Structure 1
Amino acid sequence: MLKTPELAMPRSNKVTTVCNSKREVWNDYEQAKAYFLELMMSTDGDEHDRAECVYIQLIHGLDECSDED
């Protein structure tokens, strides 16, 4: 058993996103979340859906997020 629970351990700030076939590596998790939140709020239709898909994955803490199902 670990002394420190895994959820309490700091996660890497690095995250990879794939949206509209564009792959990006972010060094700041919060910056990626802010970008996709703004993109989601400022678009509609398919572009909104893609940004929303990536944003939801970022909220759940995934290290690799994609707009593909």
Structure 2
Amino acid sequence: MLKTPELAMPRTNKVTTVCNGKREVWTDYEEAKVYFLELMMSTDGEEHERAECVYIQLMHVLDDCSDVD
């Protein structure tokens, strides 16, 4: 068992996203969420679904987000 619970440990704002084969490292979760929300709202079809997949993972505060199931 850990001495300090994981939830009490400070989280980094760094997140890595992979969408449509493009890998990006973000230093701010909010910036990444805004980008993928705008992308999701401005596209349709497969591109919309890819952006939506990454956006949902960002909403769950994952450190690595990908459009691959």
Structure 2 counterparts to residues 19-34 of structure 1, below 5 A: 19-34=19-34
- TM-score, normalised relative to structure 2: 0.88
Q: How does 1:28-67 map to 2 (within 5 A)?
A: 28-67=28-67
Listed as ranges, the gaps of 5+ residues in structure 2 are: none
Could you say what secondary structure the match of 1:48 adopts? helix
Letter in 1 for 2:24: E
Q: Deviations over 1:2-49 (max 9, x none)?
A: 67x543543110000000000000011110000000000110000000
TM-score of the aligned structures, taking structure 1 as reference length: 0.88
Q: CA RMSD in A?
A: 1.4
Question: Percent same amino acid at aligned positions?
Answer: 79
In structure 1, how many angstroms separate the alpha carbons of the residues matched to 2:59 and 2:22?
20
Which residue identity is paired with 2:58?
Answer: L
Rounded Cα–Cα distance in structure 1 between residues aligned with 2:19 and 2:42:
15
Gaps of 5+ in 1: none
In the comparison of the two structures, how many residue pairs are matched? 68
The residue number in structure 2 matching 1:15 is 15
